[in-house]
Structure 1
Amino acid sequence: MHEQEPIVVVGGGLSGLATALACASQGRPAVVLEAADLVGGAAAYSGGQVWCGANHVAEREGIEDSLDLTETYIRDVAKHLAPEVLDEAALMRWLTTSPAAMKFWEDLDAIQWTVIPGLADYHNEADGALPQGRYLTNEVIDGSALGQWREKLRYSPYFPVGTTYRELLEKGRRATYVDDDGHEAEAGKHAHAGLPAFGLADDNGFDGPAHGDPLTYGTGVVASFLRRVLKEASIDIRLEHRVTELLQDASGAVVGVRAQTPDGEVDVRGPVVLATSTYDWDPELVSDILGLTPEDWGSVAPESIRGDGLRLARSVGGQLARIPANATPILPGWRSQVGTGFGYGPEYAMPHSMIVDRTGRRYCNDSYWVDICRKTLDPDNRHLPFFLIWDDQHRRKYGLAATPPGGEYPEGWVCHGASLAELGEKLGIDGAELEATAQRFSGFARDGVDPEFGRGSVDYVNRFAGDPDHTPVAGARSD
């Protein structure tokens, strides 16, 4: 193999860009092959939260943490949730490598990390949990730093790109989507209008508050890495190059890839790194891995996320490590009002809403997606289908998806009834049980404590997804 043969990176999301940049930093050229016509992948749609214990960013901000404390936290979480999938070697490699990686990327000028203020660990009840310091994101970067590549950056439709986490956590995630008059915020307008579907910056893109085209959340994290990648002449990013085959020599070693492009097939030779994302838009893989059918599954990921990496690895003998379906990072969502996929948001975590199954009963902490997934997809007791139930107070105060507070939902998009019994009949669930559930739930809301499922007890949810201005009011009831 020639010393300067490029590393072939399959996937132009955050992991692919980071891989190529690491290669270039070591003097090795890289070719990034991205199936879509945009860079960023699923990471650009995300909230841009990177969880890392004992990181240098928290240390410089005066937050105490350690690897021992981080390990204590992870082991306690795993003990209660998924002890059967704990890989000791992988756990220790992750715990020790992550802090070094965060510093490596910052030292390489790929990103300027900041702690997300006041955002607690998911499982604040676990031993070793911290109230803040382990969730990192990027400082604001101005889109002008990308030059012509700004138009090739995937833009999140799920997060109000341009605002910061400090603003979001002070105002509430849902409230950042609407202005003072109850209309969709500007970031939401851009996303729904058809852009790719979560002092001016100095040369690094980090100096002071951004004006003009501030990029934050997952879009901003990807933009920051992309800005740095574009400075490396040895990195070649090729869009609309979907890798369909791994090339092998006579011994079976992988020596390159074959990609489909608008102009036909091309072969690219060199060592291969699969940096693709997951399998959301491949029904066969979803069924194989999760055991879910299209009726119970949708995706908030870009449509280019089709499991290509899994299929390629399997084609040369790779084995799939299976994680239980209810231990994977899945969110409750709904069919998008503005596209072919699904949407999601914090609306289920807002007051005046609850989740029930076909029996009309609650079965989980329905403000916390981790518990929703764990209970809904419990292999011994699945709760499919399940239903988000909300009242008119919720509609007036929060809206849903692209429908602003007080707005009217699109025709046929939701079911409504004059009573819970009527609503239950329309949904095919037990209306009498639904009424009883709502009455019991309203009592918990009045008391401010949910003794059945712990709604409102997760600090992360309360800060990130809930309504910071809401407190239980004696005498209130769910209409």
Structure 2
Amino acid sequence: MQVLNSLTQLPANAAYDLVVIGAGGAGMAAALFAALDGQRVLLVERTAHVGGTTAWSAGTTWVPGTHHAAQVNPGDTLAEAARYLNNAIGDRTPAALRQAFLDHGAAAIRLLEDRTELKFRPYPKHPDYISDLGGSTLNGRALEPLPFDGRLLGELFPLVRPPIPEFTVLGGMMVDRTDINHLLALTQSFASFKHALKIIARHGMDRLSHPRGTRLVMGNALVARLLFSLSKHAHVTLVLNTSVERFERDSAGVTGVVLKGQGAASDDRRSVTARGGVVLASGGFNRHPDLRAQLLPGADIAWCPAAPGHTAEAHALARDAGAVYGQGALSNAFWAPVSLRKRADGSTAVFPHFVMDRAKPGMLTVNRKGERFVNESTSYHLFGMAMQATGSVPAWLVCDATALQKYGIGMVRPGASPKDMAPFLADGYLTQGATLADLAQRLGIDAAGLQASVEQMNRYAESGVDPDFQRGVTAYQQNIGDATAGTKNPNLGPLNTAPYYAVQLHPGDIGAATGFVTDGDARVLDAQGQPIAGLYAVGNDMHSIMGGVYTAPGITIGPGLVFGCLAARHAGARSAVVAP
């Protein structure tokens, strides 16, 4: 693979079989599948890093029916997966499009594992998010990338978008769910002590020669594996700090692009021919001010934890070519509750509260009236939607001293000492109250409401039943609770140990659900439902096959990989026809 740091290094009037706009997970996958077919590929990235939001994610990849599923759930079938999606999504998206994903998913994963450095594992228990619906499963469909040794990338290592600093420990050491469990239990188990010692020692050695740890996990591992695989193909070119200015079109459809170098003073441009077509994989509309105002009214861009490259610059070009956005989604974006904190360098850390705190015993979430408004153990997507639907913006995640010590809260880690908590208290990220009334006064919320909500939660914890929001009744909810807490319900526990703590929450859009309408080959369709020849969309540029319903972990990355495969295959066939 040839890596160009600026557009000036790209020859004038270059020609490729496939041009991919955006080097996030879906774009890199489309480029890799095309490379495996022998296509000449140009991968265009507007930032200095590859990976997009995928690099900041858990890297979970939801693809039912793979060879991995048999290891943990041999009874699962594609028919059951289709039944689950039909139950969860209904007619929000075409069933045929979901079926295309199911029909081709297993083969795409097998091809990646057989011919590239992409390697996955099934997690022993990783339930679908709406686990009370028919067709759902507890495991087998969600795959996780294996950890990757970043040192294998050599000089390419700095290209991988670094993880969110607040998701690392010890100055840049990445940890996944397995690592976290071992670190928390390192004084209780020899196996955990051994695991923790091994990764900490590795990190210490890394820091002697690298600015961060090279043991990559989760989304960073997935992106690094994609990059390492692409690096083995001489007919792939990656150009960074470059955006697309316009599409070249003729009667046959989209035939190429005009690229522009990044930077206010840049006047560098290159015309590039794309014989097979152009794949849009720019990450969605989330950082486009006008589209946010239209599609996500009231959601401040400061609450968005997505990567910086998702500006939708190419969306206007696609719409000019006839592309249309999908309709009927439950939501135009996928959501998670987030907390915000200013970093020392002046930037803002946007921390998604996925699974580590809000669903645990001794935690509850309230609005300004001090009242609960949501099942705290529901999926992060439904949590974020509930915040908006009930007008509970901002909201506050509240816990007692016992829960904070055991689980942490947001950016405050489990087992935090007074010294550890001092900076968070000083800058207001974390609020502490000697009593619930004191906490409410400091937060500016109704004290009587908070007191009543906590007393009610304590009664529910004693009975194990939450009659208001049915917290902890599904397998998914119980999985992100704490089965070791000794409570009747793994998601319910009392708040009775002072002092009390709270972190403010906002609904953060973690990715676009609304994108361009496509067919089963990821071809972009016009308003009449006809393919726009030579134009494809994958990842968050493609209208989600989930219709704005967050059905399971990894439902953006999984379809991104599979439709990246289908787009590359179709474009490859087209390129073979039009090649000179």
1:205 corresponds to which residue? none
Bigger CA drift: 90-99 or 392-401? 392-401
The answer as to 2:429 corresponding to 1:413 is yes
Deviation track 1:345-372 (CA, whole Å, cap 9, x = no partner) reads 3222233221122332212111331331
The answer as to 2:118 corresponding to 1:123 is no
Q: Which has the higher contact order (CA 8 A, sep 6+)?
A: 2
Higher strand share: 2
Q: Secondary structure at the match of 2:49?
A: coil
Q: Secondary structure at the match of 1:377?
A: helix
Q: Secondary structure at the match of 2:451?
A: helix
The answer as to 2:345 corresponding to 1:344 is no
1:470 corresponds to which residue? 485
Q: Of the candidates 263, 272, 282, which is equivalent to residue 276 of structure 1?
A: 282
Structure 2: distance between partners of 1:60 and 1:417: 48
The answer as to 2:357 corresponding to 1:314 is no
User: Structure 2 length normalisation: TM-score?
Assistant: 0.69
Q: Secondary structure at the match of 2:268?
A: strand
Deviation track 1:68-106 (CA, whole Å, cap 9, x = no partner) reads 11112222223xxxx452322222222222222222222
Any unmatched runs of 5+ in structure 2? 1-12, 194-198, 498-580
Note if contact 1:115-1:133 (Cα within 8 Å) is conserved in structure 2.
yes
Bigger CA drift: 447-456 or 413-422? 413-422
The answer as to 2:313 corresponding to 1:303 is no
1:72-221 maps to which residues of 2 (within 5 A)? 72-78=83-89, 83=90, 85-157=92-164, 159=167, 162-168=174-180, 213-221=214-222
Q: Of the candidates 434, 454, 463, which is equivalent to residue 450 of structure 2?
A: 434
Structure 2: distance between partners of 1:140 and 1:213: 10
Deviation track 1:416-469 (CA, whole Å, cap 9, x = no partner) reads 434333433444433212211111011112233322212233434544x44454
2:63 corresponds to which residue? 52
Q: Kindly tell me: are residues 152 and 22 of structure 1, through their superposed partners in 2, closer, same or farther at Cα, counting changes over 3 Å?
A: same
Structure 2: distance between partners of 1:458 and 1:159: 27
1:285 corresponds to which residue? 291
Note if contact 1:120-1:132 (Cα within 8 Å) is conserved in structure 2.
yes
Q: Kindly tell me: are residues 277 and 366 of structure 1, through their superposed partners in 2, closer, same or farther at Cα, counting changes over 3 Å?
A: same
1:246-285 maps to which residues of 2 (within 5 A)? 246-249=247-250, 253-262=254-263, 264-269=267-272, 270=274, 271-285=277-291
Deviation track 1:193-246 (CA, whole Å, cap 9, x = no partner) reads x969xxxxxxxxxxxxxxx83221111011111111000000011111122433
Structure 1: distance between partners of 2:483 and 2:495: 19
Note if contact 1:4-1:28 (Cα within 8 Å) is conserved in structure 2.
no
Structure 1: distance between partners of 2:427 and 2:394: 22
**Paired residue type of 1:105:** L
**Percent identity of the aligned residues?**
24
Structure 1: distance between partners of 2:376 and 2:229: 40
Q: Secondary structure at the match of 1:99?
A: helix
Tell me how many residue pairs correspond in the alignment: 446
Q: Kindly tell me: are residues 267 and 327 of structure 1, through their superposed partners in 2, closer, same or farther at Cα, counting changes over 3 Å?
A: closer
Bigger CA drift: 232-241 or 252-261? 252-261
Q: Secondary structure at the match of 2:317?
A: helix
Give the RMSD, CA atoms, in angstroms. Answer: 3.5
Any unmatched runs of 5+ in structure 1? 197-211
**Paired residue type of 1:279:** F
Note if contact 1:275-1:309 (Cα within 8 Å) is conserved in structure 2.
no
Note if contact 1:124-1:460 (Cα within 8 Å) is conserved in structure 2.
yes
Structure 1: distance between partners of 2:181 and 2:62: 17
Structure 1: distance between partners of 2:338 and 2:14: 48
**Paired residue type of 1:442:** N
1:389 corresponds to which residue? 398
1:232 corresponds to which residue? 233
2:381 corresponds to which residue? 370
Structure 2: distance between partners of 1:468 and 1:188: 31
Q: Secondary structure at the match of 2:348?
A: coil
Note if contact 2:357-2:407 (Cα within 8 Å) is conserved in structure 1.
yes
User: Structure 1 length normalisation: TM-score?
Assistant: 0.82
Q: Of the candidates 65, 72, 92, which is equivalent to residue 76 of structure 2?
A: 65
Q: Kindly tell me: are residues 93 and 159 of structure 1, through their superposed partners in 2, closer, same or farther at Cα, counting changes over 3 Å?
A: farther
